[in-house]
Amino acid sequence: MGVYFYFYPLDRYRIPLADFWNLSVQHEIRSDLTAEVAYVGNVGRHLFANRNTNQAVPGPGDLDPRRPFNKFGLSQGVYDVCNCDNSSYHSLQAKLQKRTSHGLDFLLTYTWSKAMTNSEGGYNFSDNYNIRGDHGPASWDHTHAVTLLHTWDLPFGSDQQGSGRGCRRLAFQRRHYSSIRCCLHPLRLQRAAA
């Protein structure tokens, strides 16, 4: 058994394209603190999709007699390569960043977004005769995403007063705490500490 691919008619071929855009505004709150708000978006048009044109037409009874290419003895997938897939992404992104001062720096980001597509990778449509019917949120779509990255130099160590000498000095030399925290909606808290 084989799987067949074809591109017919040839004049259906379109060059896939992706357009990206963004608009951002940044404001300096203090010399070490900035805030930024941005709109970020993109669209993909004429993306490749592989439709199984030998999918059984819905109805009662055995599947094979309802397949268009069954009359040629083909019961496996026959795939039509087309430029008929689309995708889009739109987001509002906010960022608050504190540059290092007084032993602390952080980056706090928030994204409110929507990612839509007809398919994931151009195949596996629920109805190969109506792929636009599968248009909806992408599997990687997260409506809300919050990320916090920070580093804090603890108030003791080799550069701080009272750090001591000998073993005590080695034990408390260059102490800092840093971590990365990410929360996605639906709620999935991810944490990485260094």
β pairing state of 78-101 and 4-6: parallel
Confidence of residue 100 (pLDDT cuts 50, 70, 90): confident
In a domain, 161, yes or no: no
> Structure pTM?
0.70
In a domain, 71, yes or no: yes
d(CA 181, CA 139): 22
CA-closest candidate to residue 86, choices 133, 25, 40, 54 = 133
- Count how many domains the chain has: 1
If one compares 113 and 104, the residue with the highest pLDDT of the two is: 113
Question: Is the pLDDT reported for residue 125 higher than 60?
Answer: yes
β pairing state of 176-184 and 4-6: unpaired
* Domain boundaries, position 121: 4-141
**Any long-range contacts for 135-139 (C-beta under 8 Å, 24+ apart)?**
135/86, 138/87
pLDDT at 158: 52
If one compares 94 and 183, the residue with the highest pLDDT of the two is: 94
In a domain, 152, yes or no: no
In a domain, 146, yes or no: no
In a domain, 149, yes or no: no
Widest CA span in the chain: 89
Stretch 23-50: mean pLDDT, rounded?
93
Question: Is the pLDDT reported for residue 149 higher than 70?
Answer: yes
pLDDT at 49: 82
d(CA 31, CA 33): 6
If one compares 187 and 26, the residue with the highest pLDDT of the two is: 26
In a domain, 166, yes or no: no
Hey, which of 90-94, 177-181, 188-192 has the most confident mean pLDDT? 90-94
In a domain, 156, yes or no: no
In a domain, 69, yes or no: yes
pLDDT tens figures, 38-97: 999 999 998 888 888 888 888 888 888 888 888 877 777 788 777 888 899 999 999 999
Q: What separation in angstroms does the CA of 150 have from each of 114, 178, 182? A: 27, 5, 12
